[in-house]
Amino acid sequence: MGTAAAISAQGLSYKVGRTVLLQPLNLSFLAGEFVGVLGPSGCGKSTLLRCLAGLQAPSSGQVSFNGRPFPDLSTEERRRLGFVPQDDVVHGSLKVERALNYTGRLLGLKGTELTNRVDQVIGLLELGERRTLRTDRLSGGQRKRVSIAVELMGDPPVLFLDEPTAGLDPALEDSFMLSCRGLCQGGRTLVMSTHVMQSVESLDLVVVLQKGHLIYLGPPGQAAAYFGVPTLMQIYKSLAQQDPLQGMQRFAASPLHAAYVAGRAS
Ligand SMILES: Nc1ncnc2c1ncn2[C@@H]1O[C@H](COP(=O)(O)OP(=O)(O)O)[C@@H](O)[C@H]1O
Ligand SMILES: [Mg+2]
């Protein structure tokens, strides 16, 4: 059925001992989609991202990249998936440009290919005016852009960002989301976790987790109505009164599930 999803999960669950951090779930994200994984702190966002990125093995089920299950992929192919953790990864004393050059060389780039990639990535993340500064001289938001830039040096077909807007000035959030949207051009899939509900309109799809249960996957514009709140910002209040198991069952029976989960499974 159609083209394979860029990244998909079938029956993916994650447990630690007897604690279930993620209930079995199915999902598929297509090439070029900008996806937000939303939900209160502790609901399983990072766990889901790490499983989808191949950084931790699920307790059950599997993850596929372009329709091929992870165990069938070469180390090289798996390494191409990008992941930016919540905490900064770039060494503070390095200048932006040097950090990117260094990463590029580790990836085997050299000569004009390397300088072109550095320029391209700096342009994509609007770091032009910061390129010769040490990363520890940058603001939190700029440092986050550098972390993302480092991952983009490998031109990942799928890029995961774990809470990239945490600690970001709300006024900068919209422009940050727009930059991220730009990263999807050319077919890159971007999957971002966030507990902030602002700026969700720039996303193609939102996933909402509640205590490890998938309770919504669909367009951001339909989510508020689905949860019966005026705007998505109020969703947490509505969730506080909802049993996660019932939320999961309600979603599994909804037309959104038929369209965006079952309808995408091949
Ligand atoms: N290794 C672990 N062992 C036990 N519990 C864990 C482990 N890792 C995470 N958790 C718990 O699982 C839940 C989900 O964690 P996480 O995926 O980090 O949530 P989020 O990113 O949405 O804040 C949290 O309640 C967290 O405390
Ligand atoms: Mg997290």
Per-residue confidence (pLDDT) for residue 93, from 0 to 100 = 87
Side chain identity at 80, as an amino acid letter? R
SS3 at position 84: strand
Residue nearest atom 17 in ligand 1 by C-alpha distance: 44
Band (pLDDT 50/70/90 cuts) for residue 265 is confident
Rounded average pLDDT over 44-69: 96
Per-residue confidence (pLDDT) for residue 170, from 0 to 100 = 77
Q: Average per-residue pLDDT in the chain?
A: 92
d(CA 37, CA 228): 19
Q: In the 8-state DSSP scheme, what is residue 95?
A: B
Cα–ligand 1 centroid distance for 233 (angstroms): 23
Residue nearest atom 1 in ligand 1 by C-alpha distance: 16
Q: What is the CATH number of domain 1-81+161-266?
A: 3.40.50.300
Rounded average pLDDT over 59-69: 95
The values of phi and psi at residue 190, to 5°, are: -120, 125
- Give residue-wise pLDDT tens across range 18-32: 999 999 999 999 999
Q: Among 77-81, 86-90, 139-143, which is the least confidently predicted range?
A: 86-90
1-39 b/e with 16+ CB inside 10 Å = b? eeebbbbbbbebbbeeeeebbbbbbbbbbbbebbbbbbb
- For the residues of 216-232, what is the DSSP string, one character each? EEE-HHHHHHHHT-SSG
- Give residue-wise pLDDT tens across range 171-192: 788 888 888 999 999 999 999 9
Give the DSSP H/E element, type plus range, for residue 18.
Answer: none
Per-residue confidence (pLDDT) for residue 1, from 0 to 100 = 43
Give the DSSP H/E element, type plus range, for residue 120.
Answer: helix 111-124
Ligand 1, CB cutoff 6 Å, lining residues? 16, 19, 21, 39, 41-47
Cα–ligand 2 centroid distance for 208 (angstroms): 13
Band (pLDDT 50/70/90 cuts) for residue 236 is confident
The values of phi and psi at residue 117, to 5°, are: -65, -40
The values of phi and psi at residue 133, to 5°, are: -95, 150
Per-residue confidence (pLDDT) for residue 266, from 0 to 100 = 61
- For the residues of 149-163, what is the DSSP string, one character each? HHHHTT--SEEEEES
Rounded average pLDDT over 74-82: 90
Band (pLDDT 50/70/90 cuts) for residue 101 is very high
The values of phi and psi at residue 60, to 5°, are: -150, 165
Could you give the residue range(s) of every CATH 3.40.50.300 domain in the chain? 1-81+161-266
Give the DSSP H/E element, type plus range, for residue 75.
Answer: helix 75-79
Q: Among 49-53, 138-142, 208-212, which is the least confidently predicted range?
A: 138-142
Q: Which range has highest mean pLDDT (27-36, 142-151, 195-204, 233-242)?
A: 27-36
Per-residue confidence (pLDDT) for residue 178, from 0 to 100 = 87
Cα–ligand 2 centroid distance for 38 (angstroms): 10
Give the DSSP H/E element, type plus range, for residue 28.
Answer: strand 19-29
- Give residue-wise pLDDT tens across range 103-126: 999 999 999 999 999 999 999 898
